[in-house]
């Protein structure tokens, strides 16, 4: 029972997250203090600093701002797409196509 609940939350959370990001205003995460531990404790930015803001701007097709916040955005977002597609298939109760299931 618990496994089914966890799978349900994982699948639907993965599907809903991009839709929520699209509905939020583009500058929703642009203001406020950083919660990065490396920035808070050591005073230096880690490779992931600005990634949330970069993804948010990427989703809203503001590629210039996404690039300025974190260049890794252009690597991370395309890597998230297959995970979203897999969750879509799982939510519908269907098997992934053979080519995709080989790599996922």
Averaged pLDDT, 78-99: 82
Answer whether 22's CB lies under 8 Å from 61's CB: no
In this prediction the pTM is 0.75
- What is the spatial distance between Cα 69 and Cα 51, in angstroms, rounded to a whole number? 7
Classified as helix, coil or strand, 46 is coil
Domain locations along the chain: 2-103
pLDDT for the residue 89: 82
Nearest to 71 by CA among 83, 82, 81, 58: 58
Work out the pLDDT band at 104, boundaries 50, 70, 90.
Answer: low
The residue ranking higher by pLDDT, 9 or 72, is: 72
pLDDT of 22 above 90:
no
The residue ranking higher by pLDDT, 101 or 85, is: 85
The residue ranking higher by pLDDT, 6 or 73, is: 73
Averaged pLDDT, 42-47: 86
Concatenated DSSP letters for 22-86? Answer: HHS-TTTTSSS----HIIIIISS--TTTTHHHHHHHHHTT-HHHHHHH-TTHHHHHHHHHHHHHH
């Amino acid at each position: 029972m618990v496994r089914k609940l966890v799978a349900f939350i994982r699948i639907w959370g993965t599907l809903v997250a991009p839709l929520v990001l699209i509905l939020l205003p583009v500058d929703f995460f642009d203001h406020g203090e950083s919660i990065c531990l490396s920035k808070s404790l050591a005073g230096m930015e880690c490779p992931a600093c600005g990634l949330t803001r970069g993804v948010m701007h990427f989703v809203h097709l503001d590629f210039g701002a996404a690039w300025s916040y974190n260049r890794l955005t252009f690597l991370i977002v395309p890597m998230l797409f297959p995970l979203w597609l897999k969750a879509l298939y799982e939510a519908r109760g269907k098997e992934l196509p053979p080519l995709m299931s080989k790599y996922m």
